């Protein structure tokens, strides 16, 4: 009996052994199939997707030069980036946890402002050099922007220059964006070693370029006041009493933007006239005779152009390679009645800010700000993050910071203007050093975000 029981136990052991071998082989085969399928799915998810029409032949695998991160439409020859796949969850930064645009102005003559001196910036536009052209007070340079409940890092030019090595930073828009470009050059030039070049005449005078040879940094500005083609596209000759645009024609300008690493857009001032003309005939000259056009309300026109711009950005800009920003609307202090001044007064001779944090001047249309915010939200929902640098409220109070008559006069004042300098005052642009330096500090805090313990900048 003992032998019988032994033989049965031996058979069971053999059976268990064979079963184990079979199970091992089956399990290994299943695992191999699982990983093979998963790898194939991963390969497929990174593959180029070709959109073809019914009358287009299927593509072959011979085209090895196509960017595998794009979707190519063979009918339009345009790139559509897979934006949603690029969204990543990043740790919170200072700009995520703090609203840098909600705050107040504090006079601080012991702070580090101004960030540079007017006479020390060889690139400063004479239209903005207020002390050089006769302004006597300089208090406007000493105001510090203080966000509520938090702070933004103190500007450190050398740290920023190191981060900008090999990059092209491009401002695109109207003369206020050029104002900001001038500010950025003046803020950084003394921290950039070696040879630097300034070219003001590129692309029929629409491209202004400041370059560092040693660090391969480009800080550029492109004149496109309405983003699309307009009768104001000549940066030297655009004093017009009407606005005419080709609403869907953005490529003429935009093809010069695609290689930038950092893009900063703005457009607003040129949309304030109540009527915008949409040119209907493709062959008509902008500003020429016998034009056929539709007259469109400026608010609707502003919304339409941002739709055109958004579509271009979504198709042509890869947000994993290019950071994008849109500057908010800026105040134009042309009516002193807004702050309790005299009936026909302007910003002329104003030397103090408005201290009411909620002040809103009559030249800034909140509907257009809402349209801009909505446009950027829609882009973000598609996976394209264009950050709003919302300087609108902080510019409202700074009626003291404009050039007025203290600027280079390219055309001498008439006798009538001499008698009424208030009406001849520039209350749109900003003296430098001054308010645009704050815009750039806020912009740089978003371009190079850091955690609250980060050390990219010196803390205040």
When pLDDT is averaged across residues 428-454 and rounded to a whole number, the result is 88
pLDDT of residue 39: 43
- Whether 326 maps to a domain, the answer reads yes
- Whole-angstrom Cα distance, residue 149 to residue 36? 54
pLDDT at residue 431 greater than cutoff 70: yes
pLDDT of residue 192: 96
Statement to judge: residues 129 and 174 lie in one domain: yes
- Whole-angstrom Cα distance, residue 157 to residue 457? 9
- Whether 84 maps to a domain, the answer reads no
When pLDDT is averaged across residues 429-442 and rounded to a whole number, the result is 98
Q: 403 pLDDT band (50/70/90 cuts)?
A: very high
pLDDT at residue 457 greater than cutoff 60: no
* Count of helix runs (H) and strand runs (E) in the chain: 11, 15
pLDDT of residue 72: 35
How far is CA 381 from each of CA 266, 314, 370, rounded to the nearest angstrom? 21, 11, 17
Per the DSSP assignment, residues forming a β-bridge with 279 are 293
Distance of CA 186 to the CA centre of its chain: 19
- Whole-angstrom Cα distance, residue 342 to residue 330? 22
Q: 91 pLDDT band (50/70/90 cuts)?
A: low
Helix (H, G, I), strand (E, B) or coil at 217: strand
Mean pLDDT is lowest, of 28-32, 42-46, 88-92, 407-411, for 42-46
Count up the domains in the chain and report the number. Answer: 2
pLDDT of residue 83: 60
Statement to judge: residues 144 and 187 lie in one domain: yes
Statement to judge: residues 299 and 221 lie in one domain: yes
Statement to judge: residues 96 and 14 lie in one domain: no
Those residues whose C-beta lies under 8 Å from the C-beta of residue 312, and which sit 6 or more positions away, are 250, 251, 254
pLDDT of residue 40: 43
Statement to judge: residues 137 and 10 lie in one domain: no
**Tokens 């196509």 belong to residue:** 66
Q: Read off the pLDDT of residues 7-55 as tens digits, 9 standing for 90 and up.
A: 334 344 444 445 454 455 545 545 444 444 444 433 333 333 323 233 3
Cβ atoms within 10 A of the Cβ of 304, count?
Answer: 18
pLDDT of residue 85: 52
- Whether 80 maps to a domain, the answer reads no
Q: Read off the pLDDT of residues 109-146 as tens digits, 9 standing for 90 and up.
A: 887 899 999 999 999 999 999 999 999 999 999 999 99
pLDDT of residue 366: 97
pLDDT of residue 68: 34
Statement to judge: residues 208 and 316 lie in one domain: yes
- Whole-angstrom Cα distance, residue 327 to residue 350? 25
Statement to judge: residues 57 and 150 lie in one domain: no
What is the pLDDT of the chain when averaged over all its residues? 83
CB-CB contact of 230 with 143 (8 Å): no
- Whole-angstrom Cα distance, residue 241 to residue 343? 24
- Whether 81 maps to a domain, the answer reads no
Helix (H, G, I), strand (E, B) or coil at 314: helix
- Whether 335 maps to a domain, the answer reads yes
Per the DSSP assignment, residues forming a β-bridge with 162 are none
Statement to judge: residues 143 and 6 lie in one domain: no
Mean pLDDT is lowest, of 65-69, 233-237, 414-418, for 65-69
Q: Read off the pLDDT of residues 294-344 as tens digits, 9 standing for 90 and up.
A: 999 999 999 999 999 999 999 999 999 999 999 999 999 999 999 999 999
pLDDT of residue 109: 82
When pLDDT is averaged across residues 152-159 and rounded to a whole number, the result is 92
Statement to judge: residues 133 and 182 lie in one domain: yes
Percent of the chain at pLDDT exceeding 70: 76
Cβ atoms within 10 A of the Cβ of 291, count?
Answer: 15
Per the model's pLDDT, the better-predicted residue between 345 and 68 turns out to be 345
Compute the Cα dihedral for 118, 115, 432, 144 and give only its sign: negative
CB-CB contact of 433 with 118 (8 Å): yes
Compute the Cα dihedral for 144, 145, 149, 150 and give only its sign: negative
Mean pLDDT is lowest, of 94-98, 293-297, 336-340, 378-382, for 94-98
Statement to judge: residues 17 and 99 lie in one domain: no
pLDDT of residue 318: 94
Domain stop point among 73, 105, 134: 73
pLDDT at residue 166 greater than cutoff 60: yes
Instruction: List the domain range (segments joined by +) for residue 56.
Output: 2-73
Statement to judge: residues 348 and 384 lie in one domain: yes
- Whether 25 maps to a domain, the answer reads yes
pLDDT of residue 43: 37
Residues taking part in catalysis: 175, 426, 429
How far is CA 48 from each of CA 68, 71, 410, rounded to the nearest angstrom? 5, 6, 55
Per the DSSP assignment, residues forming a β-bridge with 105 are 145
DSSP state of 203: H
pLDDT of residue 396: 98
pLDDT of residue 45: 36
DSSP state of 48: P
**Tokens 């090595």 belong to residue:** 165
Statement to judge: residues 381 and 251 lie in one domain: yes
Domain stop point among 16, 40, 73: 73
Give me the phi and psi of 454, to 5 degrees please: -65, 160
- Whether 457 maps to a domain, the answer reads no
Percent of the chain at pLDDT exceeding 90: 68
pLDDT of residue 322: 97
Domain stop point among 40, 73, 106: 73
Q: Looking at 16-77, which runs of residues are DSSP E strands?
A: 49-51, 70-73
pLDDT of residue 19: 46
Token pair belonging to 145: 């922007």
**Tokens 């091992």 belong to residue:** 24
CB-CB contact of 223 with 233 (8 Å): yes
H helices of 93-250, in order, are 94-97, 157-163, 175-188, 202-205
- Whether 455 maps to a domain, the answer reads no
**Tokens 């803390």 belong to residue:** 459
């Amino acid at each position: 009996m003992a032998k019988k029981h032994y033989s049965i136990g031996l058979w069971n052991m053999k059976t268990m052994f064979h079963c184990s071998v079979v199970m091992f082989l089956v399990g290994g085969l299943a695992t191999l199939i699982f990983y093979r399928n998963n790898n194939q799915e991963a390969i497929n998810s990174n593959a180029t997707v070709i959109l073809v029409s019914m009358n287009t032949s299927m593509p072959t695998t011979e085209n090895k030069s196509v960017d595998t991160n794009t979707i190519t439409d063979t009918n339009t020859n345009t790139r559509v980036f897979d934006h949603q796949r690029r969204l990543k969850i990043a740790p919170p930064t200072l700009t995520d946890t703090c609203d840098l645009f909600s705050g107040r102005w504090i006079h601080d003559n012991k702070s580090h402002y101004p960030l540079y001196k007017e006479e020390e910036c060889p690139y400063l536009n004479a239209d903005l050099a207020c002390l050089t052209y006769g302004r006597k007070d300089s208090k406007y340079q000493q105001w510090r922007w203080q966000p509520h409940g938090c702070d933004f890092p103190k500007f450190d030019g050398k740290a920023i220059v190191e981060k900008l090595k090999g990059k092209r930073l491009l401002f695109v828009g109207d003369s206020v964006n050029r104002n900001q470009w001038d500010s950025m050059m003046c803020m950084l030039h003394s921290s950039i070693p070696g040879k630097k070049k300034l070219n003001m005449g590129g692309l029929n005078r629409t491209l202004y370029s400041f370059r560092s040879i040693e660090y391969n940094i480009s800080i550029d500005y492109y004149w496109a006041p309405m983003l699309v083609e307009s009768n104001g596209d000549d940066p030297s000759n655009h004093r017009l009493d009407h606005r005419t645009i080709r609403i869907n024609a953005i490529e003429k300008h935009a093809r010069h933007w695609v290689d930038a690493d950092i893009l900063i857009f703005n457009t607003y001032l040129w949309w304030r006239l109540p009527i915008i003309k949409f040119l209907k005939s493709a062959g008509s000259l902008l500003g020429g005779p016998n034009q056929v056009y539709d007259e469109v309300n400026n608010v609707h026109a502003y919304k339409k152009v941002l739709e055109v711009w958004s579509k271009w950005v979504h198709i042509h800009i890869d947000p994993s390679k290019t950071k994008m920003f849109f500057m908010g609307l800026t105040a134009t202090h042309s009516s002193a009645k807004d702050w309790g001044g005299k009936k026909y007064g302007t910003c002329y001779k104003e030397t103090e800010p408005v201290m009411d944090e909620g002040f809103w001047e009559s030249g800034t249309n909140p509907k257009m700000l809402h349209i801009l915010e909505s446009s950027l939200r829609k882009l973000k929902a598609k996976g394209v993050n264009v950050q709003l640098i919302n300087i609108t409220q902080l510019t409202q109070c700074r009626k003291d910071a404009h050039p007025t008559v203290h600027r280079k006069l390219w055309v001498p004042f008439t006798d009538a203007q001499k008698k009424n300098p208030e009406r001849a005052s520039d209350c749109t642009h900003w003296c430098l050093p001054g308010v645009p330096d704050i815009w750039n500090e806020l912009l740089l805090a978003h371009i190079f975000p850091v955690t609250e313990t980060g050390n990219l900048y010196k803390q205040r």
